[in-house]
Structure 1
């Protein structure tokens, strides 16, 4: 009875029962989310969605992150728009075992409802966030990898359930109501991998946040679904498992014993995570080229040996804009080599179409090797005079073996938020976001962000 077990665990989870390491992981996940949502708030994808939907806003109760002047929407639309903004740069967190980006759907729903209702402490928010992330990742593990392989975007197809659990936790739903919320969320499956590289990819976590919030609101009013929504023969897991055998009992049974939020990693580069090893290596090679006084114009070719998923997911040879550039290991490698960094600015439309970037991009070749780990790569630069440079990356920065530090997360936050708010306000927002866990009323913090 996975649905009831998940509901019971979430309802009974208490902040006092969370290990210190889990609380810290939750704070880091929320902090990273806020930076990503602010950083993406002025992206054309978000602007198009705002312009299309703002005539239909209800009572404006919930803040849109990153918008000066306290721009707000109703909770449903705030969840959607903040969810889009948090994912549009592909800079959000990643549960590496499933490549779910769990915080976007969960936090977007949670903060929108929390500000609307008011009175929730940072401790309340972090506990509910943990419950939602655990729910998303556990059901994701139960259907991985077949679910993803057939084309579902697993971030959003699990995110509606995670968002419903988180908001339901904040609402103090009963176990029966929580089970119904999970059921209502489970039918709102959203997200196709075909949409990667388009506006619609970031719509996925936004819609999942909105759907999860809706599910919890309906369940609070006694709306019914199925008490076996996840595990039934024609329930969520069996329908979306892609021919695999779901392992719901196994992973739901681990709730509270093995914390998936502690395996949540953070991206140093705003693009598909599978090409991060190649970018990390190219940045290190950029530094070596500079130290040795070599010339980038003398590069003959760059050979990359990568995990097969890099080719499957990020092999766009000629991206036409920044969104497509996020799924091009060739673009990521090119900016890493040329600029020694690969932040949001290096994924702007004008950089993707810059002739100097294209010239380097066209010299990069990538070949798959199934024996490599997902965060491993081998790079070789061949120069026109016959000399070469080599770089091996065993674990990319941002992996669990080489995690981003709090200082690196802060630099990432200020870098991306500064492009929207200016550096001074970005630093103030960063300070506020780190203190969310200490807040007596998170609604007040949201208004400053």
Structure 2
């Protein structure tokens, strides 16, 4: 009898053709994630992880660390995954309700080494396998799973990424399904941790879990292949109030990276703020608004978005990334948001803005949301002269429907490297050749730290 995981694994391993367009989209997502990973390497969350596991990072391993040096694969995935998500600048993937690439890219990096080299094309195909697996698993539980309070990055992200790692390790269909089954037993992460250092560590834990689950499966460990749908399984325990299940999940020939795509973040903060930020900046530009022109700002967002943003008066830079009030006020005042806006000094200055006190946020009702995967966020700006400006937006800038151009993607990558104190040089152009690279390690040598002593052979 077939199961949800066996059906997913069959689909993943039967896909052998990847169009040039899909490969290009995957390349852009990997490059964006590498930039975010480098920018986040000095974050306090990453420092905590590297301090905790300092004994395991003595340079004897074969897997690269964004913080410098080498270690074993599991710790590499943990550190690099935490760094990728540390600044909340990494992409979003709506089908999984996850920061898909912040889990996938570090997990896949931890599966390659001098002893297990791969080409750039192999890496990108494994990335797309993991992305499609995240979508397939997430389709059965979301949005109910996410709305219940589970961080999809830590749960669905880990299960799906395990399939991508399995592909790089040469897994067959059964081993791919077992990789995901084992990862299901490791999946956890409550959204109550948003606004703390644990939130980015969720991505690192998920990447580590994906690597370990795939390696265990390749070594012969097995779990319940019907763990997603069986009693006391993933759907039963993690599905939330209105789970969909996988009975009607019928994948087709087109890849999810094309049909849904990823959201490349324009702003380094929680994605729940992005559509409101985009609308407010558009209104500012269209009407030449000044802060003194505004009486009130009202943002109507999804129920989960309100839960994701519980800090109207943030006390540190992590909370600021999860504050609608701070993000909107700062974006309006500065005309954009940058990594520099989420530091303690910027927070101290930004909280002096009177605009924060004029911003209100509320959610749709459960009845309004029922039956909809997503609803447009709405922004109402009331001016001091009594005029009312209204906008609604279903997709943030950076989504497939309003994608960033290559110049914008390159500028973001360079900003990330400069934030980390790394020279950008021609690294971005080199990474664009990823699909043709004979060695992923050799290609990535351009962004290793000088002290990493990485042999690229």
Using the size of structure 1 for normalisation, the TM-score is 0.89
Query: 1:78–1:112: 8 Å Cα contact kept in structure 2?
Result: yes
Deviation digits for residues 241-271 of structure 1, max 9, x if unmatched? 12434422433x3154452564222111111
The yes-or-no answer on 1:161 pairing with 2:159 is yes
2-structure distance, mates of 1:262, 1:61: 37
2-structure distance, mates of 1:222, 1:198: 37
2-structure distance, mates of 1:345, 1:389: 32
Taking structure 1 as reference, are residues 148 and 278 closer, same or farther at Cα in structure 2, changes over 3 Å only?
Answer: same
Residue 218 of structure 1 is matched in structure 2 by 216
Give 5+ residue unaligned stretches, structure 1.
Answer: none
1:36 match: secondary structure: helix
Residue 419 of structure 2 is matched in structure 1 by 419
1-structure distance, mates of 2:63, 2:352: 41
**1:387 CA drift (Å):** 6.5
Aligned length: 435
Query: 2:22–2:257: 8 Å Cα contact kept in structure 1?
Result: no
The yes-or-no answer on 1:324 pairing with 2:327 is no
Taking structure 1 as reference, are residues 106 and 278 closer, same or farther at Cα in structure 2, changes over 3 Å only?
Answer: same
Residue 455 of structure 2 is matched in structure 1 by none
1:380 match: secondary structure: strand
Residue 450 of structure 2 is matched in structure 1 by none
2:208 match: secondary structure: helix
Residue 299 of structure 2 is matched in structure 1 by 305
2-structure distance, mates of 1:128, 1:258: 13
1:365 match: secondary structure: strand
Residue 7 of structure 1 is matched in structure 2 by 9
1-structure distance, mates of 2:269, 2:169: 35
Taking structure 1 as reference, are residues 306 and 116 closer, same or farther at Cα in structure 2, changes over 3 Å only?
Answer: farther
**1:224 CA drift (Å):** 1.9
The yes-or-no answer on 1:143 pairing with 2:141 is yes
**1:388 CA drift (Å):** 5.3
The yes-or-no answer on 1:341 pairing with 2:336 is yes
Residue 390 of structure 1 is matched in structure 2 by 389
**1:325 CA drift (Å):** 0.9
Query: 1:338–1:357: 8 Å Cα contact kept in structure 2?
Result: no
Query: 1:22–1:259: 8 Å Cα contact kept in structure 2?
Result: no
C-alpha RMSD of the superposition: 2.4
Report the structure, 1 or 2, having the larger helix content: 1
Deviation digits for residues 91-122 of structure 1, max 9, x if unmatched? 11112344321111111110121135432001
Deviation digits for residues 63-104 of structure 1, max 9, x if unmatched? 223x4xx52222111111111111111111112344321111
Query: 1:118–1:443: 8 Å Cα contact kept in structure 2?
Result: no
Deviation digits for residues 374-426 of structure 1, max 9, x if unmatched? 4543242534xx3657362535322332122222111111112211034xx22
Query: 1:91–1:271: 8 Å Cα contact kept in structure 2?
Result: yes
Query: 1:335–1:357: 8 Å Cα contact kept in structure 2?
Result: no
Using the size of structure 2 for normalisation, the TM-score is 0.88
Residue 175 of structure 1 is matched in structure 2 by 173
**1:357 CA drift (Å):** 4.5
Residue 266 of structure 2 is matched in structure 1 by 268
Out of 345, 348, 351, the position equivalent to 1:350 is: 345
2:205 match: secondary structure: helix
Query: 2:118–2:439: 8 Å Cα contact kept in structure 1?
Result: yes
1-structure distance, mates of 2:55, 2:274: 40
The yes-or-no answer on 1:279 pairing with 2:273 is no
Comparing 405-414 with 95-104, greater Cα deviation is found at: 95-104
Residue 31 of structure 1 is matched in structure 2 by 31
Taking structure 1 as reference, are residues 428 and 249 closer, same or farther at Cα in structure 2, changes over 3 Å only?
Answer: farther
1:305 match: secondary structure: strand
Query: 2:12–2:132: 8 Å Cα contact kept in structure 1?
Result: no
Residue 107 of structure 2 is matched in structure 1 by 109
Query: 1:380–1:390: 8 Å Cα contact kept in structure 2?
Result: yes
Deviation digits for residues 16-73 of structure 1, max 9, x if unmatched? x1123322221122111111111111111111211111212373212223x4xx5222
Query: 1:22–1:262: 8 Å Cα contact kept in structure 2?
Result: no
**1:362 CA drift (Å):** 2.0
1:306 match: secondary structure: strand
Give 5+ residue unaligned stretches, structure 2.
Answer: 448-457
Out of 251, 255, 279, the position equivalent to 1:254 is: 251
Deviation digits for residues 194-239 of structure 1, max 9, x if unmatched? 1000011111111111011001111111122223232322332332
1:182-221 correspondence to structure 2 within 5 Å: 182-221=180-219
**1:348 CA drift (Å):** 1.7
The yes-or-no answer on 1:43 pairing with 2:37 is no
